[in-house]
A and B are shown apart, each in its own frame.
Chain A
Amino acid sequence: MVTPARVVIALCLVAPFVAMLWVGSYAKTDPVFIGIPFFYWYQMLWVLLSTVLTMIAYKLWQRDQRARRDASKGGAAQ
Chain B
Amino acid sequence: MNEGVNGVALAVFIFFFLLVTAMGFMAARWRKAENEHSLDEWGLGGRSFGTWVTWFLLGGDLYTAYTFVAVPAAIYAAGAAGFFAVPYTILVYPLIFTFLPRLWSVSHKHGYVTTSDFVRGRFGSKGLSLAVALTGILATMPYIALQLVGIQAVLDVMGVGGGEDTNWFIKDLPLLIAFGVLAAYTYSSGLRAPALIAFVKDTLIYIVIAVAIIYIPIKLGGFDEIFASASEAFGQTNPATGAPRGALVPGDAGQWTYATLALGSALALFMYPHSITATLSSRSREVIRRNTTILPLYSLMLGLLALLGFMAIAAGVKVSNGQLAIPQLFENMFPDWFAGVAFAAIGIGALVPAAIMSIAAANLFTRNIYKDFIKPDATPAQETKVSKIVSLLVKVGALVFVLTMDKTVAINFQLLGGIWILQTFPALVGGLFTRWFHRWALIGGWAVGMVYGTVAAYGVASPTQKHFGGSAKEIPGIGEIGYIGLTAFVINVLVTVVLTFVMRALKAPDGVDETKPQDYTADAGDPGVEVELPPATAGSAH
- Residue numbers of A with Cβ under 8 A of B are 12-14, 16-17, 20-24, 27-29, 32, 34-37, 39-40, 43-44, 46-48, 50-51, 53-55, 57-58, 61
Stretch of B45-53, B218-226, B414-422 that contacts chain A: B218-226
Task: List chain B residues, Cβ under 8 A from A48.
Answer: 296, 300
Given contacts A16-B94, A47-B303, contact A54 B296 (CB under 8 A): yes
- Residue numbers of B with Cβ under 8 A of A are 80, 83, 86-87, 89-91, 93-94, 97-98, 222-227, 248-252, 255-256, 258-259, 262-263, 289-290, 292-293, 296-297, 299-300, 303-304, 307
The reply to whether A21 and B224 form a contact with Cβ atoms under 8 Å apart is no
Q: Is the interface of B mostly helix, strand, loop or mixed?
A: helix
CB-contact partner of B90 in A36, A40, A50, under 8 A: A50
Task: List chain B residues, Cβ under 8 A from A43.
Answer: 83, 86-87, 90, 303
Instruction: Add 13 more A-B contacts to A17-B91, A54-B97 (CB < 8 A).
Output: A21-B87, A21-B262, A36-B223, A39-B249, A43-B87, A47-B303, A50-B93, A50-B296, A51-B93, A54-B93, A54-B292, A58-B97, A58-B292
Given contacts A13-B98, A47-B90, A51-B293, contact A36 B227 (CB under 8 A): yes
The reply to whether A35 and B255 form a contact with Cβ atoms under 8 Å apart is no
The reply to whether A34 and B250 form a contact with Cβ atoms under 8 Å apart is no
Task: List chain B residues, Cβ under 8 A from A22.
Answer: 259
CB-contact partner of B293 in A32, A36, A55, under 8 A: A55
Q: How far is the CA of A20 from the CA of B83 in the complex (A)?
A: 12
Task: List chain A residues, Cβ under 8 A from B222.
Answer: 34-35
Q: How far is the CA of A13 from the CA of B20 in the complex (A)?
A: 38
Given contacts A46-B90, A51-B293, contact A23 B255 (CB under 8 A): yes
CB-contact partner of B248 in A29, A44, A50, A53, under 8 A: A29
> Can you report 19 A-B residue pairs in the complex whose CB atoms are below 8 A from each other?
A20-B87, A20-B259, A23-B255, A23-B259, A27-B80, A29-B249, A32-B224, A36-B223, A36-B307, A39-B248, A39-B250, A43-B83, A48-B300, A53-B94, A54-B97, A54-B293, A55-B293, A57-B94, A58-B289
The reply to whether B94 and A17 form a contact with Cβ atoms under 8 Å apart is yes
CB-contact partner of A34 in B83, B223, B292, under 8 A: B223
Task: List chain B residues, Cβ under 8 A from A40.
Answer: 83, 303, 307
Work out how many contacts link A and B, with CB atoms closer than 8 A. Answer: 103
Task: List chain A residues, Cβ under 8 A from B251.
Answer: 27
Given contacts A20-B262, A23-B259, contact A54 B94 (CB under 8 A): yes
The reply to whether B94 and A44 form a contact with Cβ atoms under 8 Å apart is no
A20 → B minimal CB distance (Å): 4
A78 → B minimal CB distance (Å): 12
The reply to whether A35 and B227 form a contact with Cβ atoms under 8 Å apart is yes
Q: How far is the CA of A55 from the CA of B250 in the complex (A)?
A: 31
Measured CB to CB, the nearest residue on chain B to A14 is: B94
Task: List chain B residues, Cβ under 8 A from A12.
Answer: 94
Q: How far is the CA of A50 from the CA of B303 in the complex (A)?
A: 14
Q: How far is the CA of A61 from the CA of B289 in the complex (A)?
A: 10
The 6 A-B residue pairs whose C-beta atoms are closest, nearest first, are A35-B223, A35-B224, A20-B87, A23-B255, A13-B94, A51-B296
The reply to whether B86 and A47 form a contact with Cβ atoms under 8 Å apart is yes
B539 → A minimal CB distance (Å): 24
Task: List chain A residues, Cβ under 8 A from B255.
Answer: 23-24, 27
Task: List chain A residues, Cβ under 8 A from B97.
Answer: 13, 54, 57-58
The reply to whether B303 and A58 form a contact with Cβ atoms under 8 Å apart is no
B104 → A minimal CB distance (Å): 15
CB-contact partner of B290 in A13, A16, A58, under 8 A: A58
Measured CB to CB, the nearest residue on chain A to B230 is: A37
Given contacts A23-B255, A47-B300, A58-B292, contact A37 B91 (CB under 8 A): no
Task: List chain B residues, Cβ under 8 A from A28.
Answer: 249
Q: How far is the CA of A54 from the CA of B97 in the complex (A)?
A: 8
B167 → A minimal CB distance (Å): 45
Q: How far is the CA of A48 from the CA of B300 in the complex (A)?
A: 8
The reply to whether B83 and A39 form a contact with Cβ atoms under 8 Å apart is yes
Q: How far is the CA of A5 from the CA of B289 in the complex (A)?
A: 17
Q: How far is the CA of A54 from the CA of B291 in the complex (A)?
A: 10
B381 → A minimal CB distance (Å): 39
Q: How far is the CA of A12 from the CA of B98 in the complex (A)?
A: 12
Task: List chain B residues, Cβ under 8 A from A23.
Answer: 250, 255-256, 258-259
Measured CB to CB, the nearest residue on chain B to A28 is: B249
Task: List chain A residues, Cβ under 8 A from B87.
Answer: 20-21, 43, 46
